[in-house]
Structure formats: structure tokens, C-alpha cells
């Protein structure tokens, strides 16, 4: 980018984009779409992973995301959110993050690492579509 602010109307609508990743291919495809939007419209991307407190993360989803973004000329930050599964859920923590940080758009994969492969949309994606107060873009 040449340092100038984009003049496209969409660049003022989607300034902050949240991209939840779990390391699945669909979440990384969602990240690639977010990268494309950020390059064209100057959006800031926040890549987030949500895990339960005390859960060991095998392959770090944020590390996978960082390797995909490494050479891209975009504004990106990374966040790890922990939650207490006895009191809240992944989707609850994501909606809370959306509201508290003032995101304009969420881009996520239709299904994450769900064991049941016949589902066309996962529970987190469905919950965000229903409960998020902003636009949600689902990538298949």
C-alpha cells in the first residue's frame, strides 16, 4: 500500500474485521478472504483463537494464521481468548469480543474442526449469524 487512505465506500464500512481461526482449512480460507479485503480496502484484521481455560492447544491456530499472513502488507493483530466452559461458550466469548472491541465484520469458516462432517454449518458459525450485532460472512 502507498500509505494513502482508500477512497472506496466499503473501506469506511468494514474498517475492523474479526477472523476467528481454529486451524481448520475453512477458517484459513476465511482468513485469506479477510486478507484480500484488507489489501483492497485498508481494513484492520484481528485474528482470534478461543480456547477453554487450561486446554492444551496442539497445533497453534494463530501460528498457522501468522504464517499465511507473514508477507502481506496489511494491518493485523492476534488475540488468544480463554473462556470458562462451565459458564460460557466459544460463541458467547466471540460475541462479547465483537461488542467490546467494535468490529464491523466477522469472517469465519462455515465449519471448524467439528467431528460430525455432515453438518453444512457449525454451531459457532450458526450462533454468530444469529447473535452477532454486525455482518457475518461465512466461507465454505
- Alpha carbon distance 115, 9 (integer Å): 40
Give pLDDT < 50 ranges for the chain.
1
Is 35 exposed, middle or buried, given 0-12, 13-18 or 19+ CB atoms closer than 10 A? buried
Report the pLDDT value the prediction gives residue 123, as an integer from 0 to 100.
87
In whole angstroms, give the CA distance from residue 7 to residue 3. 12
The pLDDT of residue 40: 86
Q: Specify the pLDDT at position 3.
A: 55
Position 98 scores a pLDDT of 97
Distance, CA of 46 to CA of 125 (rounded, Å): 17
Domains and CATH numbers, the chain: 10-139 (3.40.50.620)
Q: pLDDT at position 36, please?
A: 93
pLDDT on residue 102: 96
Cα–Cα distance list, 56 to 43, 64, 131 (Å): 32, 16, 28
CA torsion angle 93 19 29 40 (round to 10): 160
Q: What's the rounded Cα separation, in Å, for the pair 133 and 80?
A: 22
Amino acid at each position: 500500500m502507498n500509505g494513502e487512505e482508500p477512497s472506496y465506500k466499503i473501506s469506511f464500512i468494514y474498517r475492523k474485521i474479526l477472523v476467528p481461526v481454529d486451524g481448520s482449512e475453512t477458517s484459513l480460507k476465511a482468513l485469506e478472504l479477510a486478507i484480500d479485503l484488507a489489501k483492497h480496502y485498508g481494513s484492520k484484521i484481528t485474528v482470534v483463537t478461543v480456547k477453554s481455560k487450561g486446554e492444551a492447544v496442539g497445533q497453534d491456530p494463530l501460528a498457522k494464521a501468522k504464517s499465511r499472513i507473514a508477507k502481506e502488507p496489511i494491518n493485523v493483530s492476534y488475540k488468544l481468548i480463554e473462556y470458562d466452559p462451565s459458564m460460557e461458550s466459544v460463541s458467547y466469548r466471540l460475541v462479547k469480543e465483537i461488542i467490546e472491541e467494535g468490529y464491523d465484520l466477522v469472517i469465519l469458516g462455515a465449519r471448524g474442526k467439528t467431528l460430525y462432517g455432515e453438518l453444512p454449518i457449525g454451531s459457532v458459525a450458526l450462533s454468530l449469524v444469529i447473535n452477532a450485532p454486525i455482518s457475518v460472512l461465512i466461507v465454505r
